[in-house]
Each structure stands twice: as C-alpha cells, then as structure tokens.
Amino acid sequence: MKSMSMKAMFEELGVIPSYSRPSVSDDNPYSEALFRTVKYHPTFPAMKRFETIEEARLWMIKFVDWYNNEHLHSGLNFVTPTQRHNREDKRIFTTRTKVYEDAKAQNPARWSKNIRNWHLPEIVILNPDKKGDKMRQELADKSMAA
C-alpha cells in the first residue's frame, strides 16, 4: 500500500489513503487479539499450509464454534461469548459469587481481601473520547441502580 505505484494510482483515482486513524496506535485491539488466538491455537497448522481453501474454511468454522461456545475468555471473566451474548453470564456470575462467599465464610483466614469481582461492564467502547467516557459512566450508573 505504500509503494509509489499504489500511491500514484490512488492520486489518479482521487482516493486519499488512510493507514490508520489519527492518535490511535492500536487501531483494533479486538481483531489483533483474535488473530493471535487463531495463530496460537493448538490445531492451527503453523508449520504447514492448508492443502485447500475448503480445508482452511472447515478449520475456521470449527475454530469459530470453539471460540464462541467453548473457550472461556479471561476478558469476559471466564464465560464464553455465547454465554455473554445470551445473558447467561449474570446467572453464572451470581453462582460464582455465592461459591466464593461460602468459601470465605467457611474459612475466612484464607482470605486477606474481598472475593473476586464477578461482574462485567454493561457497555464497552473502543477508543472512547471524554464525552464517551461520561456517557458510559452515566449508563453504567443507571444499570446499577436498576
């Protein structure tokens, strides 16, 4: 995309190239994290190529199913995206909170601090601005009051 011929073609077509958004060094961390997960998945053929496009598509279909329905995401407090999307996470987190509270009640000497926070924010904004931060906080306050 940076070669002179590509730049010349853009100029000829009246296209203004954009290589990233201003002041954003990591343009899409969610996509980058997904690419890393794909590359380091144990079944990814790192040392060889897929033999056919159909083989690659089949692998990707299986990967997406695993990623969404089996893989417990640390960024989601160890629930799957499907559980989060279907709002099953609230029930799971309630159960986990009770298990932790019971464990702490049975043996308080093992706990030097509070139990783990098993909640997630209701709203996530990628690269929020100051206005977005304020709006997100207001929405979070409203959801906590409800």
From 48, 45, 81, 47, select the one nearest 64 (Cα to Cα).
Answer: 81
The secondary structure of 12-41, three-state, reads HHCCCCCCCCCCCCCCCHHHHHHHHHHHCC
Task: For 124-133, write each residue's pLDDT tens digit.
Answer: 766 666 665 6
Using DSSP, state whether 142 is helix, strand or coil.
Answer: helix
Q: Is the pLDDT of residue 145 over 80?
A: no
> Considering the chain, what percentage of its residues have pLDDT values greater than 70?
73
pTM of the model: 0.62
CB 62 within 8 A of CB 84: no
Q: Taking residues 82-90, what's their average pLDDT?
A: 94
